[in-house]
Amino acid sequence: MQTASIILKTLKELNLISVSFRIFLAILCGGFIGAERGRAHQPAGMRTYMLVCLGAAIVMSTGQYMYDSFGAGDPARLGAQVISGIGFLGAGSIITSGKTRVRGLTTAAGLWTAASIGLAIGIGFYSAGIIATAVVYLIMTRFKKMEYIISSETVCYGVYIEFSNDVSIADISQKVIDYGLEIEEVQIGKRTRKLQRAVITLKVTRNETRESVLKLFEKTGGVTFVKYIY
C-alpha cells in the first residue's frame, strides 16, 4: 500500500518518470480511440488522435511546469485554449453532402474528447483519462446498433468497397441502383495499380439488413472486398 502511494505521488509530480508516463498514456489513449475511426475510414485516424491527445497532455504539463517553476501561469487557462482551438480541427472532418446529410460529426466530437482526455492525463488525472477512453471507445463501437434500433424507418448504411480497375464506380453504382437501393453519396478513395477504393452511403428501409446489403455488393462483378463501416 505504501509502495502504491509512493508511485502515485511520483506520477503526480513533475519529473522525468511522470512526464514520460503522461506522454506514453496520452499516445496510448488517443491511438486506441483513433484506431476505431481509422477502421471506419474516417478523415481523422489513429495518428491524428494520437497527436491531439499528446498535444493536449503536453500543454497541461507545460502549464503545471510554469506554475511550479516560476509561480506564474494558469494550467486551466492553457487547457481552455486547447478546448477552443480543437474546434478548427474538428470542423475539417465534417462533410456536408446534399442539402441535409452531414457526416463526420462523430469524428469531430471524438477529436474534441480526445483533447479533453489529453488534458486530464497531462495534469495527472490518470483515472479520468483511462475511464473516459474506455467509454468513448464503447460509444463509437457498441452504440451503433442501439442507434440503428431507435432510428426511423429510413436509415443510412456506409459501405467501404475495393474493386478492380476493370470496372468503374459508375458501373457499380448502376448495379446497386438496379438492386433497388438508393445511393446518397459516393466518396472515391485512393487508387492503386491493382484496385480502387470507395465509400458508398446508401439510403435504405429498415427491412434491408446490413448482411443483405453486403451480399448484394459481394455478388457485384469487380468488387473484391466490402465492409460495413457505419
Q: Which helix (H) or strand (E) holds 224?
A: strand 223-228
Print burial letters for 130-144: b (CB count within 10 Å at least 16), e (below 16): bebbeebbebbeeee
Say how far apart CA 177 and CA 97 lie, in whole Å: 19
At 93-126, the pLDDT tens digits run 555 444 445 556 777 788 888 999 999 999 889 9
Say how far apart CA 176 and CA 220 lie, in whole Å: 8
pLDDT value of residue 28: 92
Enumerate the CATH 3.30.70.260 domain ranges in the chain, comma separated: 154-228
pLDDT value of residue 117: 93
pLDDT value of residue 1: 66
User: 190: which residues sit within 8 A by CB, 6+ positions away?
Assistant: 197
Q: What pTM was estimated for this model as a whole?
A: 0.64
Say how far apart CA 131 and CA 21 lie, in whole Å: 17
Domain at 154-228, CATH class: alpha beta
Evaluated on CA atoms 100, 106, 107, 110, the torsion sign reads: positive
CB 161 within 8 A of CB 195: no
* Successive 10-residue mean pLDDT values, the chain, 230 residues: 77 85 92 78 76 90 84 75 74 52 69 90 91 89 63 67 82 80 75 80 70 79 79
pLDDT value of residue 76: 77
User: 166: which residues sit within 8 A by CB, 6+ positions away?
Assistant: 222
Reference 202, options 217, 222, 181, 218; nearest CA is 181
70: cell is 516560476
Strand duo 95-97 + 154-164: pairing: unpaired
Q: Give long-range contacts, CB 8 A cutoff, 24+ apart: 185-188.
A: 185/97, 185/98, 185/101, 185/103
CB 32 within 8 A of CB 137: yes
